[in-house]
Structure formats: structure tokens, C-alpha cells
Structure 1
Amino acid sequence: MSFVIRDVREHELDSVLALNNNAGSAILPLDPAKLHDFYDNAEYFRVAERDGNLAGFLVGFGSASGHDSCNFAWFKQRYPHFFYIDRIVVASRRRGGGVGRAFYADVQSYAELRYPLLCSEVFLDHGADSALLFHGSFGFHEAGQNVMPEVDVRASMMMKELCSYPWIRQTYGDALPDLPWVGRPRRPQPRDSRATGT
């Protein structure tokens, strides 16, 4: 059966939270407030849906965001312009079915039009071979390591150069063509504005 990747909807955040907090030690837990912060501020927040159920999600931020992750800060200290994958979670029953690969293809399609680098991290203290191999198969390499002080976890800081970006930037600058497949960055709005329609 096939699945679709699309923007998350606010009423799905409880299901996203459950997916995240049941993912195990390779993903840091979230609370509802932090997840709503992601919903309000993430440039990319998409879910995979299969048979009417969520099969996973991916959250990402551009380098100009005010994202407060220490791993995001590690990249920001070293690179001026990048897109950061904060987390990807695939439901355990859907792992190995191509959902993660579809997410990475989708987020790269989004990022390469706007950023020269795609960045992520892999926690090294929890059996990282499958995640390292997954990232390596997408052309990522380790740019360094970071110990996350708040949780004492060592992370491999993974980076990939997006080879399409220089040509796109030279050809289109900040004015990408208005094509349906190009999409536009999420324009997060405060929840109050969405609720009142203003």
C-alpha cells in the first residue's frame, strides 16, 4: 500500500506526540508545549499518512530560525546557511517500508531550492549503525561530533552539500518560479491568529 507525505494538521499533534515519545532512545522525548512550538515555528513539518493513519513525521528548520536545539546551534556556529532536520520518526510497524527514504527525498527537494547544506545528527550511544548507514546512503558525511549537555548524549553531526543549490541560486535568486511542486516555506502564524482568522 502507498502513503502520502503532506503538511501536518494541528488536530494531529497528539498523534505526533505519541509517535515521538514511543520511538525509543534514538529520539529525545517531547512535551505538548515543545511540539506546539514546532508547529508554530518549524519551516518544514510534514507527516506520512497511510490508510488514514500517521506513519511518521519530519520536522526541520532553516538556519535563520530561532530554534533552540544545541545541535542546531553547533551547525549555526560553523555554517552560515543550512537546513536542519531536527527529527524524523517512523512508526515501528512502518520501519523498513520506505517512509524514511520518502521523507528524506521530500525534505531534500524542499531544501535544495533554498539552502546549500542539509544537516542532521545521529545519536551515537544507542546502536547507531542503521541510522549512520541510512544517512551515508543519502550522501551525508560526519562534520564532527557534539555532546548534548542537557542529556549527556554524543551525536554525530551529519552534513550533505546540496549540489543543485548554486545553480538554482544563480538562476533564480530569491524568486523561485511559482510552480505547484516547488511549494513555499510554511508561514507559521501564532495560534491566536489561526484561531481568530485574523
Structure 2
Amino acid sequence: MALAIRDVREHDLDAVLALNNAAGRTILALDAAQLRYFYEHADYFRVAEIDGHLAGFLIALREGRDYDSPNYLWFAEHYPQFAYIDRIVIANAYRRHGLGRIFYCDVTSFAEVRVPLLTCEVFLEPRDDVVVLFHGTYGFQEVGQQRMGTEGPQVSLLAKDLPSYAFVRETYLDHDGLPDVPWLAERQRPVHPDTPQRRLAGERRP
């Protein structure tokens, strides 16, 4: 089995959209325009490809994005710098095989050289103890709760400290910036001025 974690490409978007909208009630549905927003603006948008098949994806955004997710906005109001995991989706055929942990290791490597916190939320209604346990064992702590809208589900807002960031900031970011090596590079995001700037939020399942 050949596994690759790579930045999303435009030709992946139809498959990503189908995978997202088949994921069930813990993942908010997307339309093509909403997915295009992520393609053009997400700081982290990577897919897992196994033997040529799309097996999953993870989308994360840093602070300062024009994004109206109530959970993203909660973190923006409470923390000056963070990376927010908007959603992770794993195809049914590849669940419970550790792919979620691989994604979280990868997004942590992305985040810890840029921000001090990695954030996300999990549903408490309905509560999924597998998801709660996954995040707890990966170092996330609850920093708040809120309801998504007047009739939406209650969510637990989670944050994970990234202790490597202090060293990176003092050694590199406060001076000449990160070294120019491929694994530290930002993803190349195509930006089109006619793309809507605000989109709805999504949830996650490892």
C-alpha cells in the first residue's frame, strides 16, 4: 500500500466534495463554492492518496482569515495566533487504520513552526467518545464550550499547546524567517477576486 500526504490539487476537488458530503452528520455539507473558498484560502489543505485513490483530507486555517465559522470566530476572539482544524474526513474504507493520526501529526508539523496553538472542536451532541478520546490522547485540552447557532449542537472547543513554537520564533521567525526548504514551504493558494470570502464551518472525525 502506497500512502502519500500532499497538498490538494484542483483536479482533486470533485472527489473531496463527494467524500465530504458522504461523511455523515458530524461533517457539515459543502457546496462547490464553499470548497473553492478553502482551496483558495486555507493555509493547510492536504489529501491522503492511497494507491491512487483519495482516502481523506484535512483543512486548517490560521488566524486572520475572513471566515465566519462560529468556532473559528471563538478562537479568533480568544487567541491572537492559532491554526484551526476546520475538518478532517477519512473515507469509510480507510477508517480505524491510523490515518487520522497521520494527518494530525502532519498538521502539527505544519503548525508548530508558525503558531503556538493548534485548535479544533468536537461535537458533544451527539457525543462520540472515540473522537473525544482521540483528541485527549493527542494532547488537546478543552478551553471552552458553545452552541453552534441557536439550535445547533453543543461543541467542546479544544486547543493543543505547541511548545516547539517558542524555539522556532526566537531562532528563526524573529530574525530571517524559516529556512527555505520544501517541508517548511507554504502551500501555493490560487486567489481569484470573484470568490466569496465567507463560508460556513465544518466538523471533524478522525
Shorter chain as denominator, the TM-score bin is over 0.9
Change (3 A) 1:151 1:55: farther
Would you say 1:189 and 2:190 are equivalent positions?
Answer: yes
CA distance in 2, matches of 1:7, 1:173: 23
Do the aligned partners of 1:142 and 1:158 also contact (CA within 8 Å) in 2? yes
Q: Which has the higher contact order (CA 8 A, sep 6+)?
A: 2
Residue in 2 that maps onto 1:121: 121
Q: Secondary structure at the match of 1:181?
A: helix
Could you list the structure 1 runs, at least 4 aligned residues long, displaced by more than 4 angstroms after superposition.
Answer: none
Q: How many angstroms does 1:186 deviate by?
A: 2.2
Residue in 2 that maps onto 1:167: 167
Opposite residue 12 of structure 2, the aligned amino acid is E
Q: How many angstroms does 1:17 deviate by?
A: 0.7
Q: How many angstroms does 1:151 deviate by?
A: 5.7
RMSD: 1.6
CA distance in 1, matches of 2:26, 2:89: 10
CA distance in 1, matches of 2:186, 2:165: 16
Gaps of 5+ in 1: 193-198
TM-score of the two chains, using structure 1 as the length reference: 0.92
Question: CA-to-partner distance for each residue in 1:169-197, whole Å, 9 max, x for gaps?
Answer: 00001500112222x222422248xxxxx
Opposite residue 186 of structure 1, the aligned amino acid is R
Show the 5 A alignment for 1:1-198.
1-149=1-149, 152-173=152-173, 175-182=177-184, 184-191=185-192
CA distance in 2, matches of 1:177, 1:151: 47
TM-score of the two chains, using structure 2 as the length reference: 0.89
Question: CA-to-partner distance for each residue in 1:37-73, whole Å, 9 max, x for gaps?
Answer: 1101101100000011100000010012212211000
- Aligned positions, number: 192
Question: CA-to-partner distance for each residue in 1:64-99, whole Å, 9 max, x for gaps?
Answer: 221221100000111111000000000011011111
Q: How many angstroms does 1:3 deviate by?
A: 1.2
Question: CA-to-partner distance for each residue in 1:95-116, whole Å, 9 max, x for gaps?
Answer: 1111111100000000000000
Gaps of 5+ in 2: 194-206
Do the aligned partners of 2:39 and 2:190 also contact (CA within 8 Å) in 1? no
CA distance in 1, matches of 2:111, 2:178: 13
CA distance in 2, matches of 1:126, 1:34: 25
Q: Secondary structure at the match of 2:126?
A: coil
